Amino acid sequence: MKRTTIAAALAALMMTSGAAFAETQTQEDFAKDRIQNTIAMVMLVHFAGTHCEHVRMIEEAMIAELKDAGVTLETLNAPSMGIDMNILQLMFLNHYDKDPTKFCTGALQGFGPNGGPGPNGAPKRQMLEAK
């Protein structure tokens, strides 16, 4: 399925340096990457759910995605997490401000009924639906 620029930007932001470094990554590194990717996906879903008038978040699915990835309250309350979340929020806001319709359509395509599961830690469940 063709992903929108929103999903592509998210993937580019969250992916590690690439295959050249995959050999040197440990299981712990992969777990950290999965946690970071999942948090970013859920944040994008939350942003879309609060900014896009024709989109609704499926909170149960969002929580399940976080739990499956091993995200804990300790992870979310880590001092550096606030900075990372603010950077992501600004990125989402920038894309939304440029073209709200494109952003909302892209979010629904990536995280709605036709989105994931897919490669590189795509969500296991639908987290958005049309109102």
| 53-62 residue pLDDT tens | 999 999 999 9
Listed in order, strand segments (DSSP E) in 46-124 are 55-57
44 three-state secondary structure: helix
Predicted pLDDT of residue 122? 67
Q: Label residues 106-121 b or e (16+ Cβ within 10 Å = b).
A: bbbbbbbeebbeeeeb
Query: Measuring CA to CA, which residue among 128, 85, 131 is closest to residue 107?
Result: 128
> Which bin fits 8, alpha (ψ -120 to 50), beta or left (φ > 0)?
alpha
pTM as predicted: 0.75
| 27-86 residue pLDDT tens | 776 778 888 889 999 999 999 999 999 999 999 999 999 999 999 999 888 888 888 889
What are the sequence ranges of the domains in the chain? Answer: 5-12+26-130
Longest Cα pair distance anywhere in the chain, in angstroms? 44
**Distance in angstroms (rounded) separating the CA atoms of residues 109 and 24:** 34
Contact 127/23 with Cβ under 8 angstroms?
Answer: no
